[in-house]
Amino acid sequence: MLPLYVVNNHGQFNHLIQRMLRDMDIPTTMIANDTPPADLARGCRGIFLGGGPTLDRTGVAADYLDLGLPVLGICLGLHIIATARGGAVRRGASGGFGAVEVDILEHNDILQGYPDRIPVWASHADEVSVVPEGFIRLAESAICGVEAIASPGERLYGVQWHPEVSHTVNGRLLFENFDRICSE
């Protein structure tokens, strides 16, 4: 089985994404965000766009969205998806990392199995302010109107929170759902 790639966008938690996948016995490889897109198309069955400090340091990660592979963006990865598809990102009013209660608006394939409200760990230093055309807003919170989005037809998904950290309740389920999507 081909692995899932974790794109390293210089974030402090990218190794935790890879660790959680390995703990789930899901083959995974971390790659640099300047890896040529053609190399990804041949070597994996899905892509995680990991977090990082700024959109200015995301290399060619936005080009990976056009490979026809499923993509799950986490935090900055969500921002890459949103801006690459015509949405917008702004500074968040709530700032850095902390606990947030997220309300699930749409229980689609990526959020299947979650209750209507989940406690998560997220950074809101930046957040999506305009959802790209053709995307569905999947979740919101009291401090952020766009906690998760999806373009199911393209199999592009993004979440503002960090499912890979222990502070997020049942973050593993998000990875299980994405692994299933990548296996379909």
- What CATH number is attached to the domain comprising 171? 3.40.50.880
Say what the pLDDT of residue 124 is.
Answer: 86
Q: Which residues constitute the domain of residue 130?
A: 4-183
Q: What angle do CA 145, 87, 166 make, to 5 degrees?
A: 50
Say what the pLDDT of residue 53 is.
Answer: 85
Say what the pLDDT of residue 155 is.
Answer: 98
Beta strands in 112-152, from DSSP E residues, in sequence order: 117-130, 136-141, 148-151
Say what the pLDDT of residue 75 is.
Answer: 94
Say what the pLDDT of residue 92 is.
Answer: 87
Q: Which residues contact 29 (CB under 8 A, 6 or more apart)?
A: 3, 4, 5, 6, 43, 44
Please, what sign has the CA dihedral across residues 56, 60, 63, 64?
negative
**How many structural domains does the chain have?**
1
Burial classification of residue 117, based on how many CB atoms lie within 10 Å of its CB (0-12 exposed, 13-18 middle, 19 or more buried)? exposed
Q: Which entry of 79, 144, 147, 164 is annotated as an active-site residue? A: 164
Short-list 9, 26, 6, 25, CA closest to 17: 6
Q: Which entry of 44, 75, 144, 182 is annotated as an active-site residue? A: 75
Is residue 127 flagged as an active site residue?
Answer: no
Say what the pLDDT of residue 95 is.
Answer: 73
Say what the pLDDT of residue 135 is.
Answer: 98
Is residue 10 flagged as an active site residue?
Answer: no
Say what the pLDDT of residue 94 is.
Answer: 78
Q: Which entry of 127, 147, 162, 182 is annotated as an active-site residue? A: 162
Residues of the chain with pLDDT under 70: none
Is residue 164 flagged as an active site residue?
Answer: yes
Say what the pLDDT of residue 54 is.
Answer: 86
Q: Give Cα 121 to chain centroid, integer Å.
A: 13
Say what the pLDDT of residue 38 is.
Answer: 92
Per the CB < 8 A criterion, the answer to whether 116 and 103 are in contact is yes
